[in-house]
Amino acid sequence: MSIGCRNLVVTAGRRELLAVPALDVTAGETVAVLGPNGAGKSTLLRALAMVGGGQLRGEIRLDGRPAGTAALRAAVAAVLQRPILQRATVLDNVAAGLRLRGVRRSAARGRAHPWLAALGITQLADRDARTLSGGEAQRVAIARALAVAPRVLLLDEPLTGLDATTRADLLADLRSVLQQLGAAVLIVTHDRDEARALAQRTVLLINGRIRQIGSTPTVLDAPADLDCAALLGYTTRLPPALTGHPTMLVARPERCRLLGPTAADPPAALVVPGTLRRVVPLGGTTRVDIDTSAQPVSVLTTAEVNEVAGARVRLAVDVDDVRECPPGPGASAVGDCGTPDREEPAAAGGPGCAEGRPRSRGRPTRRHLR
Amino acid sequence: MLVDGLVEAVRLLLTGDQDTWSITGLTLRVSLTATAGALLLGVPLGTGLALGRFRGRRVLLAAANTGMGMPPVVVGLFVTVLLWRSGPLGALGLLYTPTAMMIAQAAIATPVVTALTAAAMQQVDPDFLVQMRALGATRLRALLALLAEARLPLLAAGLAGFGAVVSEVGAAQMVGGNLAGETRVLTTAAVLATGRGQFALAIAFGLVLLVIAFAVNLAITLAQQRATVRQPR
């Protein structure tokens, strides 16, 4: 079963929280919705499940046909961002979704058991759910949703707030479960690694609008505009004044290198001179801020930085690691994630939305560099 | 005098004094019925106040909280006026009947149950209902799940409502009239016995009242503890 929406608009009072002209998730497919805090990701998820607050306009579709609340209740199971468990044992919590759908207690418990095993929480079956750790509680919440055998599964940041080890373990288990589920899955996240690990397609949602949609590797590797670039970690911005390229170039700061005063320019790389402003140790990496003739840029490096503030340095980044990036819709300044205020030809996500890698954008060629 | 009174009280209870036991029976009937009525009214009202989003909600919540401290005599006065022969409900002929006492006591307990229910519901995660709905629950099933989730503070609300009515004397006296064999309950009987200088009888009534209050509290506390699943980590 597929789920989708058409002309979906969610408002709170006079404020528009979300405007999605079209979005579809097909059966067996996992789509990640990636966006910064406050972008409307959870609003989208709740709107698709028809459990959200605010006024909802537009159409929610199941298998391409408009769906009512009852049909959605039967088909969809959603896991909210915080694991909200009932005052009961883990087993009864995992069975709770089935109980809420009218399944008898013994049958519900029987159907819950395999999902305890699938999520690795069988040993917790008789534990009071209120004594669980964050990771365990999240596993219970996911198992509870899976136990109802949903044809559409909506997950709202299921791995947020977990420590690195727990997160990695749950990510692996979740990936395995989703591959076998065969349901249409929409997973909301602000972590691109989660999107890469779980989703075949990724949607970038900024300020309630879909700004880019396409296969996950394509979207994560080719941001459509500066807002998308910032969201995807391409935060080192190299304006035309520095590069001679007609549009802004962006790169991941961890892909940039700091060249010493005597080092030769590397081949097939963009080199930008500047003055070292500060060096900030960040545990495993070091952030180096550099003042250039146009604007400050930052580098993240694991190498030892011997230069001090005021030193003349050069920033180098391989051509393959640089992306062209026009400003986002409505953006007038660097870093502005403004609401789209101009009409563009409608793409899958509507005005201002780019489908996959834009034809006119890509990696700059050597001739653009100086 | 106190010791003599206690001895006499125990004797009255153990020998099965007919009056004492009929008064005790009526007290339980009136108080439990009034509490049940207060729960039937107060739980939906409190739930609505906790979950509803409408103009005047906070004022109503404040009114319910104020009602928790309403003097029973005032409630008794209003119910008496309503049920008085020439009053709006005088035609029903309920004044000086156990039914009138139940109405008055339910009116005392309802604000208590309403305010405590609202507080109990507001303690549950605000997204609880959303999560239940997101798992496929109908509105009714989600609401029942919410009530089940808040069952411990709801039991406490019922307990507080019962405590408020079983121990009050003013309203019971005013609307019941303390008629022997008809509307005499433990509190009004204790007041009458004390006025007559029958301290042993008054102490016996007091003891029974204490035992009832303790028994009901014990039963609900045990129910609460059984509902609280606690497993060692």
Query: Counting one residue from A and one from B, how many pairs have CB atoms under 8 Å apart?
Result: 75
Q: Given this model, what pLDDT does residue B230 score?
A: 46
Interfacial B residues in 141-160 facing A (CB < 8 Å): 141-142, 145, 148-149, 151-152
Does residue A231 sit in the same domain as residue A318?
yes
Domain of residue A108, residue span: 3-221
Residues in A touching B135 (Cβ below 8 Å): 77-78, 96-97, 100-101, 144-145, 148
pLDDT, residue A187, reads: 94
Of the candidates A51, A88, A144, which has its C-beta nearest B229's C-beta? A88
Q: Closest residue of A to B129, CA-based?
A: A51
Q: Do A164 and A244 fall into the same domain?
A: no
pLDDT tens digits for range A44-95: 999 999 887 788 999 999 998 998 889 999 999 999 988 999 989 999 999 9
Write the pLDDT tens digit of every residue in A151-165.
999 999 888 877 888
Q: Is the ipTM reported for this complex over the cut 0.90?
A: no
Q: Is B231 on the interface with A (CB under 8 A)?
A: yes
Across the interface, do A80 and B127 touch by the CB < 8 Å criterion? yes
Domain for residue B80, yes or no? yes
CATH of the domain at A62: 3.40.50.300
CB-based contact B136 A87, cutoff 8 Å: no
Question: How many folded domains does chain B comprise?
Answer: 1
Structural domain ending residue among the three candidates A177, A192, A221: A221
Q: Is residue B19 part of a domain?
A: yes
* Chain A residues inside the 8 Å CB shell of B225: none
Tell me the nearest-neighbour CA distance from A164 into chain B, angstroms. Answer: 22
Indicate which of A85, A90, A98, A100 best probes the interface with B, i.e. most B CBs within 10 Å of its own CB.
A100
pLDDT in tens, chain B (233 residues): 678 778 877 887 788 778 888 898 999 999 999 999 999 999 999 999 998 888 889 899 898 888 888 888 999 999 999 999 898 898 898 999 999 999 999 999 999 999 999 999 988 888 999 999 999 999 899 999 999 999 888 888 998 999 889 988 888 889 988 898 889 999 999 999 999 988 888 888 888 889 888 888 888 778 777 765 443 33
Confidence of residue A355 (pLDDT cuts 50, 70, 90): low
From the candidates A62, A86, A140, A156, which should be mutated to test the interface with B, based on the most B CB atoms within 10 A?
Answer: A86
Residue B164 belongs to some domain of the structure: yes
**Is B135 close to A154, i.e. CB distance below 8 A?**
no
- State the total domains in chain A: 2
Whether residues A53 and A76 share a domain: the answer is yes
What 8-state DSSP symbol labels residue B124? S
DSSP one-letter code for B94 = -
Lowest-confidence pick of A2-6, A53-57, A312-316, B12-16: B12-16
Q: How far is B140 from chain A (nearest CA, A)?
A: 10
* Boundary-marking domain end, from A221, A244, A271: A221
Query: Who among A51, A86, A131 is closest to B233 (CB)?
Result: A131
pLDDT tens-digit profile of A230-274?
A: 889 898 888 888 888 888 889 998 888 888 777 788 888 888 888
Contacts of B133 in chain A (CB under 8 A): 49, 51, 73
Task: Give per-residue pLDDT as tens, A110-134.
Answer: 999 998 988 888 999 999 998 998 8
Instruction: Give the pLDDT confidence score for residue B228 in this predicted structure.
Output: 58
What residues in A contact B123, CB-CB < 8 Å?
A: none
pLDDT at residue number A364: 52
Task: Look up the CATH number of the domain holding residue B186.
Answer: 1.10.3720.10
Q: How confident is the model at residue A10 (pLDDT cuts 50, 70, 90)?
A: very high
Mean pLDDT of A10-39: 91
B136·A131 Cβ contact <8 A: no
User: Per-residue pLDDT for A367 more than 90?
Assistant: no
Look at B229 and A87 and tell me if their CB atoms are within 8 Å. Answer: yes
Contact A82 B136 (CB under 8 A): no
- How many angstroms separate the CA atoms of A342 and B180, rounded? 85
A132 neighbourhood in chain B, CB within 8 Å: none
Extract the tokens encoding B134: 């997101």
Same domain, A215 and A360: no
Closest residue, chain A, to B141 (C-alpha): A100
- In B, minimum Cα distance to A149 occurs at B135
The beta-carbon neighbor of A148 closest among B127, B136, B152 is B136
Q: Do A144 and A8 reside in the same domain of the chain? A: yes
> How far B141 CA lies from chain A's nearest CA (Å)?
6
Residue A230 and residue A216 share a domain: no
CB contact under 8 A, A100 and B132: yes
Indicate whether A335 pLDDT > 60. no
Q: Which of A182, A199, A221 is the last residue of a domain?
A: A221
Positive or negative CA dihedral for A307, A308, A312, A315? positive
A78 and B135 in contact by Cβ < 8 A?
A: yes
**Could you write out the three-class secondary structure of chain A?**
CCEEEEEEEEEECCEEEEEEEEEEECCCCEEEEECCCCCCHHHHHHHHHCCCCCEEEEEEEECCEECCHHHHHHHEEEECCCCCCCCCEHHHHHHHHHHHCCCCHHHHHHHHHHHHHHCCCHHHCCCEHHHCCHHHHHHHHHHHHHHCCCCEEEEECCCCCCCHHHHHHHHHHHHHHHHHHCCEEEEEECCHHHHHHHCCEEEEEECCEEEEEEEHHHHHHCCCCHHHHHHCCCCEEECHHHHCCCCEEEECHHHEEEECCCCCCCCCEEEEEEEEEEEEEECCEEEEEEECCCCEEEEEECCCCCCCCCCEEEEEEEHHHEEEECCCCCCCCCCCCCCCCCCCCCECCECCCEECCCCCCCCCCHHHCC
Q: What is the mean pLDDT of chain A?
A: 83
In chain A, residues with a C-beta closer than 8 Å to the C-beta of B127 are 80, 82, 84
Is there a domain that residue B232 lies in?
no
- Judged by CB atoms closer than 8 Å, whether chains meet at A78 and B132 is answered as no
* CATH classification at residue A333: 2.40.50.100
**Mean pLDDT, residues A303-322 taken together:** 84
Give the integer Cα–Cα distance in Å for A9 and A329: 19
Query: Are A187 and A316 within one domain?
Result: no
Minimal C-alpha gap between A105 and chain B (Å): 14
**How much is the average pLDDT of A269-287?**
87
Label residue A359 by pLDDT band (50, 70, 90).
Answer: very low
- Whether B230 and chain A come into contact, CB under 8 Å, resolves to yes
Q: How far is A63 from chain B (nearest CA, A)?
A: 18
Asked if A212 and A156 sit in the same domain, the reply is yes
Give the structural domain span for B214: 2-227
Residue B128 lies in a domain: yes
Q: Which residues of B touch A82 (CB under 8 A)?
A: 125, 127
Min Cα distance B98 → chain A (Å) is: 39
Residues of chain B in contact with residue A48, where contact means CB-CB under 8 angstroms, are none
Would the CB atoms of A79 and B132 count as touching at under 8 Å? no
Chain B's closest residue to A50, CA to CA, is B134
Contact B137/A at CB under 8 A: yes
Whose CA is closest to A112, among A88, A132, A130, A134?
A: A88
Let me know if residue B233 belongs to a domain. no
